[in-house]
Amino acid sequence: MSVFKGTKLTAALFGESHGEGVGIAVDGLPAGETVDFEELKAFAARRAPGRGDGVTKRKEADETEVLSGMLEGRTTGAPLALFIRNTDTRSADYAGLSRLPRPSHADYAAHIKYGGNNDIRGGGHFSARLTAPLCAAGGIALQILARRGVSVCARLLSVGSVSDFAPFESPGDFAHIKAGGFPVLSRGAEDAFRAEIESARTEADSVGGIVECVVFGLPAGLGGPLFGGIEGKLSHALYGIPAVKGVEFGGGFALAAMRGSDANDAFTVKEGEAVTATNRSGGIQGGITNGMPVVFRAAFKPTPSIGKKQRTVDLQSGEEHDLVIKGRHDPCVALRAVPVVEAVSALAALDLVL
């Protein structure tokens, strides 16, 4: 089973893209927490396809059913099981893919691992549809964190060769993204990002992107050294998202090209507290929070399913074959992944706080 394993929290995913539905069982949530289901729906809507802004045309109602773990509007402390029914599936689009694995999708690796028994329709259990229950569980974690003064905010930092490095100071800078707006910090960046995605789409191609995430409000002193470090805990959560191929914290890979005198975060005093003047450590030192915002980025590869002709191998005949993929696919998965990054980061952050 695909399981997020925290110290206190675990979240186990189940379901397939074109089966009955997808779901998640979350264990370790604090008892007595209320859930605002309207807010949860609005959060899920940020991930849902069918909004017509550069995402797949699949439309899903994405109503979250609570199967267990809540009574009279409050968590009971027992496992919280959430289920989201599939309502818009077009399995015919996938006929033939069991023989012709899509380059860089999970088809071939899963075919080998499960001896050809895996559900190939819509990517089966490897589909990004599984990010819907992740957003349901993560959305609840976000609400619980908010009551404890912690906000998790993400934005699209780059798509292909276009970037938006607009700085941020507080969760308020992300308010329009949280409200469902295009997930960039400088308004001017939206057109350039859309153009980059549209150019990939018109060429029957796809494009990668980077999502940046910030956790505000974590107190100093959470986490632990070496394997107990926050980087490892967050990476475990982030690499659970399909198509994530890189994760970096603070200055990340760019730190490797710097001198210590440029990279170090000098300490200074602000309102009687020790803070750092810069935050190239991404709020983490020695695997432990230092009280600064925790900042990290996830790199998403281009969507593997593209309309352009590709080469693959026919698993029945063993011969090389051309492949032209039909069906509804996101030209840039990073765009829809912004709330998914918030969701998994919220699970990891809640685990730390608990």
Ligand X SMILES: Cc1cc2nc3c(=O)[nH]c(=O)nc-3n(C[C@H](O)[C@H](O)[C@H](O)COP(=O)(O)O)c2cc1C
Residues within the interface to ligand X (CB under 6 A) = 56, 105-106, 123, 126-128, 131, 241-243, 301, 303-305, 329-330, 333, 336-337, 340
CA dist 7 and 5 (Å) reads: 7
Q: Which is nearer to ligand X, 273 or 322 (CB)?
A: 322
Task: State in angstroms the smallest separation of the CB of 58 from ligand X.
Answer: 8
Q: Which is nearer to ligand X, 284 or 343 (CB)?
A: 343
The upper half-sphere exposure of residue 259, i.e. CA atoms within 13 Å in the direction of its Cβ, equals 2
From 147, 290, 153, select the one nearest 222 (Cα to Cα).
Answer: 290
Q: Which is nearer to ligand X, 171 or 304 (CB)?
A: 304
Task: State in angstroms the smallest separation of the CB of 274 from ligand X.
Answer: 38
Task: State in angstroms the smallest separation of the CB of 228 from ligand X.
Answer: 26
Q: Which is nearer to ligand X, 215 or 244 (CB)?
A: 244
Q: Which is nearer to ligand X, 77 or 246 (CB)?
A: 246
Q: At residue 5, what is the residue type?
A: K
Token representation of residue 48: 């849902």
Q: At residue 58, what is the residue type?
A: R
Angle, in degrees to the nearest 10, between helices 333-353 and 37-47: 140
Task: State in angstroms the smallest separation of the CB of 187 from ligand X.
Answer: 23
Q: Which is nearer to ligand X, 177 or 337 (CB)?
A: 337
DSSP 252-319: GGGGGGS-HHHH---EEEETTEEEESS-TTTTEETTEE-SSPEEEEEEEPPPS--SS-EEEE-TTT--
Task: State in angstroms the smallest separation of the CB of 181 from ligand X.
Answer: 18
Compute the radius of gyration of the chain from its Cα atoms.
Answer: 21
Task: State in angstroms the smallest separation of the CB of 101 from ligand X.
Answer: 11
